[in-house]
A and B are shown apart, each in its own frame.
Chain A
Amino acid sequence: MAENRQQRIGPNGRPVRPFVMPPTLTGKLRVWRYLILRRIVQFSTLLLFFGSAHWAWTIAETPIIMGNLSSSLLLGVIPLADPFAVLQIFFTQHLLEQEVVLGAIIVAGIYALLGGRLWCSWVCPINLVTDLASRLRRALNIPNAFSIGRHIRYIVLILTLVLSAITGVAAFEWVSPISMFHREVIFGLGMGWMAIVGIFLFDLLIIKHGWCGHLCPLGAFYSILGKYGLLRISFDAPTCTQCIECVIVCPEPQVLDFKKAGQEGLITSGDCTNCGRCITVCPENTLHFNLRPQIKKTTTSNPENPENPENQRSAA
């Protein structure tokens, strides 16, 4: 199989090389750099909340961050709030105090500006669980029990808002395993871990990337919110041999549409979580984190746009 792949010639005329994990530790760390960074960000977010709540962590005698990911107060002055939770409460026809609305605007603004589903792969605590499930799944080579469409999360998103309006309570917040997990980490463990085990087993045994990639309405919300944000994965089309190493590791492989990425010079889909996995496995150095305006500049200034529709193949 590996030999077969090596004999293949990519659409750019270069031989297709597979990704090889470097034998040295520094090489491995380089491959895992975004993974390690993401884990640091995820755990330190949890730790900051936990430390402020339980060990009275303060800066200049104000608690660092009080609350949880649903809503919190940073350094005693900056309100932060989950914009999706606030949206749901609006749909229950209740007016909220300024503080939480401002918090939601701040958070929504940050994610809209930065872009992508940064929340999903860099902050969300459930990502730890689903990443573990997908890693195990790849190692054990478990096939899907059945398949469902990735657009279902958008239906769940609409359903969330409709149910919020009908039942008069924030529909997703009342069942959300994300809020549940984070809340129970900070405020004491209840039965929430069963939901986490459920998601883990669902992702491991039933549907690959089942929760984050198919069902989660919060992910869908951030897909829409961050679609036009600044931080994107740039795609240097002339170097791509379409070895599809990136597609194999990507939790949202439908976003790696080589044709579209070749035209635009970047991954355009809002479903991209900006996790950076594809960047580190690419043997040709085709993919990079980049800011949208810079990508535009380089692709338009590059006259030899490598469009060859004959050889283009969608990743779907």
Chain B
Amino acid sequence: MSDPKTNKARRGFIIKMMQGSALAATSGLGWAFLLQQQAAASPFAIRPPGALAEADFNAKCIKCGQCVLDCPYDTLDLAKAGDTLPIGTPYFIPRDTPCYMCPDIPCVKACPTGALDPNLTKIEDSRMGLAVIDIENCLSWQGLRCEICHRECPVKDTAISVEHHPRKLSKHAMFIPLVHSNACTGCGICEKACPTDEAAIRVVEPSLVQGKIGEHYRLGWKIDTPITEDFKPSIKPDRDVPATGLDYLNEGDF
């Protein structure tokens, strides 16, 4: 065991192993960084119908392009190396070619991995993105009669509705298009149709624009909002605190 030759060999072996592991670890770190950078770009891609949530889609998509080939409108494309989207994954640019919402959804049928969810059978249920309106540049919001997005929308009145508002002193009303996230499929036909130089209605990944109210808010004036006590914090304070709400206003001298 203590033979110097064996010791030297053992030492050499251990050093080799350590060098190997160091090389694997450093290159692995660099590699992992590259992967995470790529995956981080995915919120900017508008995916085909039925695409799973970002992380699951990135994992499951095998980048074969069968959805791209089976799209009858040539809407889809695979992200190329050097694009700012995750490499090899399908996406589309609605302003160039939107999704025309084929009722038989051939792209989803073509997907061999399930990255496009095979349970999506009604194209109206797809959520490729969410249309948002730039009200500073929308013609209708300026008071012109446009509403092209509403007329082109394949799920019009539920995804895009038009409300008329009175316009200050003028006797003409404004006809305002509004998008409803519970019905908008993100197909992008509105974005394609928008007549402004740069589209004033655009499809984006909902997480980039959608807020969240928070469960502790109660819209008491809405009939379907139950008035409950469950908004009180579940954690008991560790010391006595003043009474909640407005009660302190009624205390003391007036």
Contact = CB atoms under 8 A, between A and B. Distances in A.
B66 A67 contact: yes
Contacts of A174: 34-35, 38, 86-88
Given A67-B64, A162-B28, A92 B59 contact: yes
Contact of B63 (A97, A103, A179): A179
A120 to B, nearest CB: 20
B77 A71 contact: no
B79 to A, nearest CB: 8
A89 to B, nearest CB: 6
Interface string B63-97: 11110111000000111111100111000000000
Interface in A145-198: 155, 159, 162-163, 166-171, 173-175, 179-180, 183-184, 186-192, 194-195
Contact of A71 (B59, B62, B78): B62
A89 B60 contact: yes
B24 interface: yes
A169 B59 contact: yes
Given A81-B62, A186-B65, A175 B80 contact: no
Interface stretch (B111-119, B141-149, B230-238): B111-119
A100 B32 contact: no
Given A66-B66, A68-B65, A70-B64, A183 B88 contact: yes
B32 A53 contact: no
A199 interface: no
Given A79-B112, A184-B81, A194-B81, A70 B62 contact: yes
Contact of B113 (A89, A169, A180, A187): A89
A190 B83 contact: yes
Contact of B32 (A70, A103, A166, A188): A166
B55 interface: yes
Contact of A188 (B24, B34, B80): B80
B65 A73 contact: no
B81 A180 contact: yes
A73 B80 contact: no
B interface bracket (residues with beta carbon within 8 Å of A)? 35 or more
Interface string A55-77: 00000000100111011110000
A99 interface: yes
Contact of A72 (B32, B64, B78, B80): B64
B80 A71 contact: no
Nearest to B114: A97
Interface of B: 20, 24, 27-28, 31-32, 34-36, 38-39, 55-56, 58-60, 62-66, 68-70, 77-83, 86-88, 110-114, 118
22 contacts: A52-B69, A53-B65, A66-B110, A67-B69, A70-B62, A85-B62, A96-B60, A96-B113, A97-B112, A100-B62, A100-B112, A159-B28, A162-B28, A163-B31, A168-B58, A175-B31, A180-B88, A183-B63, A183-B65, A183-B78, A187-B77, A192-B80
Given A70-B62, A173-B62, A175-B35, 18 more contacts: A66-B69, A67-B66, A81-B64, A94-B59, A95-B114, A96-B60, A97-B113, A99-B112, A103-B112, A163-B35, A168-B55, A169-B39, A174-B88, A179-B88, A180-B88, A187-B65, A188-B78, A194-B82
* 10 nearest A-B residue pairs (beta carbon): A190-B80, A191-B82, A71-B64, A97-B114, A100-B112, A192-B81, A92-B59, A67-B64, A99-B112, A191-B81
